[in-house]
Structure 1
């Protein structure tokens, strides 16, 4: 006789056969008993929890010829034919394969015809979230007001992908994962009726692996029972599913606790020789430490653990770790598990993650304790860090002293970089143009810059500025991107004052590497070395306006600072001259 898979042979044929969904079954039974069945239902939940099975049972219940109460009889011709899938009026549609608008339009056209074999047409649309937007729109009106002889049952694992207009037209039932006790009880009953001998801990582990899906649990049981010739043990389940025994978890945790990297790598190599995958090992280890954390923090955490079959046996291991250490281990493993998806060599990454856990000590992270205990715990690495900090401070002080001596001797120009650091350094730098001016502060010698803003030297520099910008761009485009925000406003001796509109552009331009590029271009294009001095444009305008007010009390006349350079009163014309050069710009009235 042909073998039928367990999950098919034991598919629920009535509401009483379903496990773990009592809140849904009772509601549907009451609706059938009181003849208050809705025209549209939405069944959502994880895979293998009974959504499609409940839909078929409901289709049989509303069409049963010998219905008594709220259960289908499963003996009348209608029930038998619906179970076998031979009734044209009860259709199960796979939305993943029929997701287009044409298929839904065809369904909408057939809905209006009365059923020919049973009392009520039932359309079960599985994986309904796969329908396209156009298909949902085509279904919308029919779903809201179908003929009285039609019922829609939509099933999906991802209800958040459904339009709100579809969800609002259905009665929604959320299927939940089947509990561990319910799964274990059903597996025991099936093993008894199928003649399969299975150890209780093996069935419990199968139920944990299924993650609340009854279909997954039956598939695993079917596979293992074929391999073991009718007798299922815990070790056989581990071998078939690639799981790791709890004892190996305990050895890994002990090696991490003791910091024994040699033993840890030997255990990893043993797992790899047994055919275990590195990503599954890391995932299972993460679950194990999560369970240890639950056991340590939550009294009676038997129902909260995923991989520990007997939590009482692992209380000693949980007590050996501090809560802070367990939190850190779980966080580290979770981070490496995310990186392992893209790793070329997962085993290497697994070993690195375990060695990182080994290198952690219980006292690496400070915990709440008295001061003497805190000093004793943190006397290792933090003390070394403090010593390095002292050495770095001494080196910085020595460098500052050497820089001050060099500036006082005149061998280094640019004392403005250290302006305000000490009185001696600021006095030595008075005769030199500043190299960096802090944002929001005026550079020294502003009176000289203001007096020279209309000088012939500035006019010559301004005329060449577009070529300067182009040369900076050719030299280094990233420097040009910041420097282009500035414009020259004055020149004194060997210093060019550039005004910036944006503070970040000014700060980036003043970095030593960028300044070196700009000053090299200035020397090459202008024929003599120039130092770069910067100011904010708003500060320059205020200073220039104040100077004009003081110079002439009778007449206050605001002029464009570029007028001498051939500029005009129109800012966009000045901008064009600056970008393209005076020779290429023609002004027409």
Structure 2
């Protein structure tokens, strides 16, 4: 087979050719130059960011006899053999299919033998998180007492699955997602080297669709080249990626904002007729609303993210639509995405979504119209309010029994719409068990400073959150919007920034647990009720004399432990005691 995929042909062969990982490449080059080479390295990061390529380059650099400035020459026999994968002293192992104890024991038995051709024997273990517990234990012994001239390079996309005992014996390098502009420049370089024509807009679509993976970007580019007969056009890129043209997304959202339901439905039909994936459409729409929110706060940032793809229609929409409307749109999109996973009629959901969004955007207009009522109506309303105030004053002066009886029918319990967001109570309850008002006050005091440390996109997520409970080792953060709570849970970079900021401000790193605000009262109530039950079980062991002595104040004694616990957790100024 003569043809090779682009990501194989253009795999980096030098540190300087690796895209978007400058910090890591410079560190490894300096280690090679100064001969400060560790016995074990951990390369962690998303797929397609250069972990395995970096491992092979490093293996060449430490074994190359003609390396200059830490770079391999790629001309000597050793470098060529490593590039081809034929050097016996550089062993690449796929832990996904060799994850048992026997495979690692085989490595442990052979690692003690000196390299035969190169200076260092290098073991590259890819997807190391797939190893079993027994295999990790077998590997740990080798990492504790490594033989001379042996280097282990562990690569993984899920470092949280690797035991801490393994990580602590390695030098860890975290590979970041490759920025779209870096992917774009690399694709431009490759296409120019191949002598192929291309459209800039097409490469921007591919760069965004790759989601930070250089290998994914080159794979998509390979498809577009094949589909377009060696021509890279915007239409072909949209067809291959399944993305929706951004101008069409802006048009759709503008129609929704103007309550033009009929035109918005026609736009949806046009998108579906082109064969676009409905789920991909909703994802693109979420990204557009995010860009609109960010543009309202920092236009320069969005211009950089979108690689100058900000036109006049986008700017006009950003000026017209309000942030609260965008929050509501994202909330609806989040619900629709979850529902679409379990249906074969995705087009119906998109049509329902369109009608709902257009109807919701019309609510501010109705409110504005009601503000234009005549003065006579305002006067009548003021008179009715005055009359109601007098009735309330009379009721407050009535006897307690009558007041309680009068109030009882008026009590209306509002049942909040249940959210689909799942909260891990096994993480929440331990924090509540050790929570104190002092810890919560300390966290609330530094919370504004913590927000200032975050980047603008991170502040846009955390701006609608606040700490509601804290212990010495943990904190519970409530989010006004469930979709932002889910995004915060999934954003590892945001979590790292929060932990680093708290470490700088408070000199400790509490375990942060995110919950939706609308679920927090029920979580707190359930915990307090369970605490009350535990207290009652302890009281059941009292003697009959003690039980008789406490019968007179049974109601108060049953309530006091819960009230005391609530005050200890949340403070006297927060707890409001009400009789049933």
**What residue in structure 2 maps to residue 271 of structure 1?**
271
Matched, 1:167 2:162: no
2:2 corresponds to 1:7 = no
| Rg larger in structure | 1
Question: How far 1:211 moved relative to its partner?
Answer: 1.2
Deviation of the 1:67 alpha carbon: 2.4
Partner SS state of residue 361, structure 2: coil
Q: Using a 3 Å threshold, how does the CA distance of structure 1 residues 311 and 103 change in structure 2: closer, same or farther? A: farther
Aligned in 2, Cα 1:130/1:243: closer, same or farther, shift over 3 Å?
same
Higher helix share: 2
Q: Is the 8 A contact 1:59 1:90 kept in 2?
A: yes
**CA displacement 1:382-424 (0-9 Å, x = unmatched):** x9xx9xxx9xx9xxxxxxxxxxxxxxxxxxxxxxxxx944899
Match of 1:193 in 2: 193
Q: Is the 8 A contact 1:46 1:157 kept in 2?
A: yes
Aligned partners of 1:287 and 1:307 also within 8 Å? no
Shift of 1:363: 4.6
1:347–1:147: structure 2 CA closer, same or farther, 3 Å change rule?
same
Q: In the superposition, relative to structure 1, how do residues 377 and 287 fare at CA in structure 2: closer, same or farther (>3 Å)?
A: farther
Q: Take 1:377 and 1:7, find their aligned partners in 2: how far apart are those partners?
A: 64
Between stretches 295-304 and 117-126, larger displacement belongs to 295-304
Please report how far the alpha carbon of residue 64 of structure 1 lies from its aligned counterpart in structure 2 after TM superposition: 1.2
Residue of structure 2 equivalent to 1:30: 30
TM-score, length basis structure 1: 0.63
Q: Distance in 1 between matches of 2:548 and 2:286?
A: 58
| Cα distance in 1 for residues equivalent to 2:304 and 2:340 | 26
Correspondence 1:147 to 2:147: yes
Q: Determine the C-alpha separation between the residues in 2 that align with 1:224 and 1:237.
A: 6
From the superposition, tell whether residues 297 and 253 of structure 1 become closer, same or farther in structure 2 (CA, over 3 Å). Answer: same
Structure 2 alignment gaps of length 5 or more: 389-399, 407-531, 537-546, 554-580
Does residue 182 in structure 1 map to residue 182 in structure 2?
yes
CA contact (8 A) 2:257 2:321 kept: yes
CA distance in 2, matches of 1:333, 1:377: 33
1:47–1:303: structure 2 CA closer, same or farther, 3 Å change rule?
farther
1:323 CA displacement = 1.7
| 1:54-203 equivalent positions in 2, closer than 5 A | 54-203=54-203
| Contact 2:111 2:147 survives alignment (8 Å) | yes
Q: Confirm or deny: 8 A CA contact 1:246 1:308 kept in the other structure.
A: no
Deviation at 1:60, TM superposition (A): 0.7
Q: How does 1:313-328 map to 2 (within 5 A)?
A: 313-328=313-328
Is this contact kept in 2: 1:101–1:132, CA < 8 A? yes
TM alignment of 1:236-385, pairs within 5 A: 236-303=236-303, 305=305, 309-311=309-311, 313-361=313-361, 363-364=363-364, 376=371
* Aligned-residue offset at 1:374: 9.7
Residues matched between the structures, number: 401
Partner SS state of residue 300, structure 1? helix
Aligned partner of 2:529 in structure 1 is none
Off by >6 Å, runs of 4+ in structure 1: 422-425, 537-540
SS at match of 2:352: helix
Deviations 1:128-162 (A, max 9, x none): 11111111111002012211111000001111111
Distance 1:126 1:424 in 2: 71
CA separation of 1:86/1:323 partners in 2, compared to 1, >3 Å: closer, same or farther? Answer: same
Contact conserved, 1:325 with 1:362, CA < 8 A, in 2? no
Label 1:261 to 1:194 Cα distance change in 2 as closer, same or farther (>3 A).
Answer: same
Deviation at residue 85 of structure 1 after TM alignment: 0.6
Offset, 1:19: 1.3
Q: Distance in 2 between matches of 1:538 and 1:228?
A: 89
Q: Deviations over 1:69-115 (max 9, x none)?
A: 31111111111111111112111100110111111111111111111
- Partners of 1:48 and 1:223 in 2: how far apart? 17
Residues 422, 318 of structure 1: alpha-carbon distance in 2 compared, 3 angstrom cutoff: closer
Partner residue, 1:471:
none
Distance 2:133 2:87 in 1: 30
1:294 positional shift: 1.5
Q: For 1:378 and 1:69, how far apart are their aligned partners in 2?
A: 78
Q: What's the secondary structure of 2:371's corresponding residue?
A: helix
CA distance in 1, matches of 2:307, 2:318: 14
What is the match of residue 499 of structure 2? none
1:360 is paired with a residue whose SS is helix
Aligned 8 A contact 1:279 1:350 in 2: no
Deviation at 1:539, TM superposition (A): 11
Equivalent pair of 2:291/2:302 in contact (CA under 8 Å):
no
Partner of 1:40: 40
| 1:166 to 1:126, Cα distance in 2 relative to 1, 3 A | same
Is 1:20 paired with 2:20? yes
* Alpha-carbon contact 2:90-2:123 (below 8 Å) kept: yes
Partner of 1:232: 232
Secondary structure in structure 1 of the residue aligned to 2:91: strand
Alignment partner of 2:60: what SS? helix
Distance in 2 (CA, whole Å) between partners of 1:5 and 1:264 is 41
| Structure 1: gaps of 5 or more residues | 368-372, 394-418, 426-500, 506-536, 544-589
After superposition, the C-alpha distances for 1:329-375 in whole angstroms (9 at most, x for unaligned) are: 122212322332233432222222222111113654999xxxxx796
**Matching of residues 202-221 of structure 1 within 5 Å:** 202-221=202-221
In the alignment, the residues of structure 2 paired with residue 84 and residue 183 of structure 1 have an alpha-carbon distance, to the nearest angstrom, of: 25
TM-score norm. by structure 2 comes to 0.63
Q: Is the 8 A contact 2:187 2:203 kept in 1?
A: yes
CA distance in 2, matches of 1:307, 1:13: 28
- Alpha-carbon contact 2:258-2:361 (below 8 Å) kept: no
| SS at structure 1 position matched to 2:299 | coil
Paired with 1:10 and 1:348, the residues of 2 have a C-alpha distance of 44
The alpha-carbon deviation at position 303 of structure 1 amounts to: 4.6
With 152-161 and 313-322 compared, the bigger mean Cα shift is at: 313-322
